[in-house]
Structure 1
Amino acid sequence: MSTATLTGLSTGTWTIDPTHTEVGFVARHLMVTKVRGSFTEVAGTVVVADSLADSTAEVTIKTASVATGTADRDAHLRSGDFFDSDAHPDMTFRSTSFDGDTLVGDLTIKGVTKPVTLDVEFGGVATDPWGNEKAAFEASGEIDRTEWGLTWNANLEKGGVLVSEKIKLVIDVQLAKQA
């Protein structure tokens, strides 16, 4: 994707609109079903530069805001077995490159920073009824959770594990242009 295909996206600082943004994930449970979750507290900024390659994104996600629809599972994810939300309340993402199709950056979880690559799709730009300029992006990728120290698991009697190591990331972001 070239800069020309980001029609309407103006330079400047954009902030994440948390009420219209979802940072989600999908894991396999028992190696046969998918469990979906998301984080309800997300904040960050995107600075769109004249040259798309010079644009940056910084995102902070509150690990205690993890939500899968099951209170016991959410509590387990917040525990030391996974995110250890008391000791590590935030996970962060800082971009290192963006070409319009691919966003590369450093993801930090539990004090461990590793590079991740996300495929990006530009959704467009619109003005809401109150005159605010908004932009939307979708991003997706896959990580191995064990690389960040998220290693808890249980072996299954007939082989396999309870929770997949590979986690799909599914992100829908709405940005608001700052004046």
Structure 2
Amino acid sequence: MIHPSLGRASATQLPTQHATWTVDPAHSSILFTARHMVVARVHGRFERLTGTLRVNPEQPTQGEVEVSADAASIYTGSPERDAHLRSPDFLDADNSPKITFRSVRTEPTGGSGFRLHGTLTIRNITQPVIFEARHTATSKDPWGRQRLLYTARTSVNRSDYGIRWNKVLDNGGWLVGERIEIEMDIQALPVVS
């Protein structure tokens, strides 16, 4: 997930050492968890994602970030459920093809941790969100390419994004929980000019 230190800063705040990094989709993930039938949990992911970071590797918790997932790439392991999640009842992927997080600012929380303040757009509805983030490493891979690694977590209320479909259970509970947990694991590579 995205580190809170990667929040958007104004051009005057970004030192000249800031460079553009691109999210490596083969080594990054956006995962989610939702309650199912009150006590169980359903886990899923988005299989297609893109993103850009503007960050100085010497100050990896400062900068800006934008990450998007293809809503139609949702995967939970059940083709029937995935088709329903792509439908207008949930993500409405045909009319709202992208889920996008954009940073606004970062707030250090100590060490490599930070809060990443920004906006999350789902179903073309944009809401403020805060990710609890951590810069986990800056290192070179076996091929000599430098990588920035981040994790970030948050939870959102799905009804804030117009996702209200549900069914009442015999016990009075709801089929689908209101809170959705989101986790991002991001590896970014420098853009070679």
Deviation (angstroms), 1:52: 6.9
RMSD: 1.9
Between the aligned partners of 2:163 and 2:63, the Cα distance in structure 1 is 30
For structure 2, the residue ranges without an aligned partner over 5 or more in a row are 6-16, 109-113
Q: Flag as ranges the 4+ runs of structure 1 deviating above 2 A.
A: 49-54
Identity level (%): 38
For 2:77, the equivalent position in structure 1 comes to 69
Q: What is the total number of aligned residue pairs between the two structures?
A: 172
Q: Is the 8 A contact 1:29 1:164 kept in 2?
A: yes
Between the aligned partners of 1:131 and 1:11, the Cα distance in structure 2 is 20
Between the aligned partners of 1:59 and 1:139, the Cα distance in structure 2 is 12
1:60 aligns with 2:68: yes
For 1:161, the equivalent position in structure 2 comes to 174
Deviation (angstroms), 1:93: 1.1
Deviation (angstroms), 1:127: 0.7
SS of structure 2 residue aligned to 1:139: strand
Between the aligned partners of 1:167 and 1:118, the Cα distance in structure 2 is 13
1:99 aligns with 2:107: yes
Deviation (angstroms), 1:122: 1.3
| Higher relative contact order (CA closer than 8 Å, sequence separation 6+) | 2
For structure 1, the residue ranges without an aligned partner over 5 or more in a row are 4-9
For 1:132, the equivalent position in structure 2 comes to 145
For 2:97, the equivalent position in structure 1 comes to 89
For 1:7, the equivalent position in structure 2 comes to none
**What TM-score, normalized to structure 1?**
0.90
Deviation (angstroms), 1:53: 7.8
Query: What is the one-letter code of the residue matched to 1:120?
Result: A
SS of structure 2 residue aligned to 1:167: strand
More strand by share: 2
Deviation (angstroms), 1:158: 1.2
Between the aligned partners of 1:127 and 1:164, the Cα distance in structure 2 is 41
SS of structure 1 residue aligned to 2:176: coil
**What TM-score, normalized to structure 2?**
0.84
1:1-179 equivalent positions in 2, closer than 5 A: 11-48=18-55, 55-100=63-108, 101-179=114-192
Between the aligned partners of 1:125 and 1:135, the Cα distance in structure 2 is 5
